[in-house]
Amino acid sequence: MHHETKWSLYYIRLNNILSLYKQTFVTPITFPPFLRDARIDDFANLLQTLENMTLLLRSLLLLKEKEFQASSIQAKIDARNDNFTNDISTFIESALSRTR
């Protein structure tokens, strides 16, 4: 596949990602629609931008995973506390069947 054809596919995907996560990126990011128009220093900047974007999105994903884990743990704690208050037999059964 020709490089321009590949880039045009990536260009669409990258712009979709930027649109989806526009609140995440502080400064606006723009990509050249065609690689043939870019100079060598522009290409180096493009690679640096892509690397920074990747690192930021990976960090965001890790943060979202940790938030989900914390909310899942909190939901289980809340359910167990509710069982302790309202249904002691379910609380005891839950505590005895707990696995590590």
Distance CA 32, CA 30 (A): 7
Q: State pLDDT tens for residues 11-49.
A: 999 999 999 988 888 888 888 888 877 776 788 888 999
Distance CA 33, CA 53 (A): 18
Q: Could you give the C-alpha distances from 42 to 8, 13, 35, 45, 51, in angstroms and in order?
A: 17, 20, 10, 5, 14
Q: State pLDDT tens for residues 59-89.
A: 999 999 999 999 999 998 998 888 878 888 8
pTM listed for this prediction: 0.69
89 versus 55: the higher-pLDDT residue is: 55
pLDDT of residue 58: 96
Domain boundaries along the sequence of the chain:
3-71
3-state class of 92 per DSSP? helix
